[in-house]
């Protein structure tokens, strides 16, 4: 099932706001600072609702590359903050793709820094990590319905990165081919080829998986979504307060004019 796109926020991000209408309403802002705080809180609250609606999608994109829950949370938070701060540059129809692509790129940077980066531009495959046991048909037959989802996740995790990312985005999260291609920054035909190869690798180990298993795999815990949302909202409140203080601060020209005219 495809998630709806993040609708555009009818707000101006703090970096842009700080340069708009300099000193035009400075006296009013100084007199009514609570108005700015109320408006900022409304913006942050609205963005918080949007984040909750897209946490699962962003989580699964990052989870297709990273394993550490703490690291995944950090990457998700950075992507949401960056999307908000630069939303004036983003096409509203591509905002959902933008935040997923930012998150994926940050996850890949961290993999590269650890010295085990595998470019998603490659069309080849990497070997199975030595520490992970390859699941065989005999292992699959011994499983029960209770642990079939976990077993599916283990099989997917053993796939090469270029196939795992496509499989999770397309078959687990339910993104379209076009959305997947945009996030991975590859063409549609490349996504189709990788998806076909990924499904072929799965069939060699696991048979009979249905949509329910795909959709249940790699779930986002409610606690993680709440922590990410709360952390990003706190960061945005802090940033907006700094922006409001900068806008309320008298400029050197205004201060000089007040001193000349004798105004306090």
Whole-model pTM: value is 0.71
Dist. CA 33–CA 26, nearest whole Å:
10
Tell whether the model's pLDDT for residue 122 goes beyond 50. Answer: no
Task: Identify which of 16-30, 57-71, 77-91 has the greatest average pLDDT.
Answer: 57-71
Tell whether the model's pLDDT for residue 115 goes beyond 90. Answer: no
Dist. CA 185–CA 121, nearest whole Å:
9
The pLDDT assigned to 239 comes to 84
- Output Rg (C-alpha) for the chain, integer angstroms: 23
Dist. CA 55–CA 82, nearest whole Å:
15
Cβ neighbors of 236 (< 8 A, separation 6 or more) are 43, 44, 47, 81, 84
The pLDDT assigned to 176 comes to 95
Percentage of residues of the chain with pLDDT beyond 90: 39
Tokens 């520490």 sit on residue: 131
The pLDDT assigned to 39 comes to 76
Dist. CA 249–CA 230, nearest whole Å:
29
Dist. CA 113–CA 115, nearest whole Å:
5
The pLDDT assigned to 214 comes to 85
Domain ranges for the chain: 32-116+129-249
Please choose, from the candidates 166, 235, 219, 178, the residue with its C-alpha nearest in 3D space to the C-alpha of residue 57: 219
Whole-angstrom CA distances from 210 to 36, 148, 152, 213, 217 are: 51, 11, 11, 6, 11
H/E element, 89: none
Classify residue 176 by its DSSP letter: -
pLDDT in tens, 14-29: 444 444 444 444 444 4
Three-state SS for 3? Answer: coil
């Amino acid at each position: 099932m495809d998630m709806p796109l993040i609708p555009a926020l009818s707000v101006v991000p703090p970096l842009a706001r700080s340069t708009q209408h300099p000193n035009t309403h400075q006296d009013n802002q100084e007199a009514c600072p609570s108005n700015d705080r109320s408006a900022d809180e409304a913006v942050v609250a609205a963005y918080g609702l949007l984040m909750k609606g897209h946490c699962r999608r962003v989580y699964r994109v990052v989870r297709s590359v990273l394993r550490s829950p703490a690291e995944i949370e950090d990457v998700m938070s950075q992507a949401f903050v960056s999307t908000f701060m630069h939303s004036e540059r983003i096409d509203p129809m591509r905002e959902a793709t933008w935040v997923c692509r930012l998150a994926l790129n940050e996850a890949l940077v961290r993999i590269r820094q650890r010295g085990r980066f595998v470019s998603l531009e490659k069309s080849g495959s990497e070997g199975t990590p030595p520490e992970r046991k390859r699941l065989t048909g005999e292992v699959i037959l011994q499983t029960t319905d209770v642990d079939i989802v976990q077993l599916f996740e283990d099989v997917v995790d053993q796939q090469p990165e270029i196939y795992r990312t496509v499989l999770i985005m397309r078959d687990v999260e339910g993104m379209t081919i076009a959305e997947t291609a945009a996030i991975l920054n590859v063409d549609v035909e490349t996504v189709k080829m990788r998806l076909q190869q990924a499904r072929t690798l799965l069939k060699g180990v696991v048979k009979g998986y249905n949509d329910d298993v795909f959709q249940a795999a790699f779930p986002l815990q409610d606690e993680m979504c709440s922590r990410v949302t709360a952390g990003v909202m706190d960061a945005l409140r802090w940033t907006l307060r700094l922006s409001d203080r900068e806008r309320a601060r008298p400029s050197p020209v205004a201060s000089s004019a007040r001193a000349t005219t004798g105004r306090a």
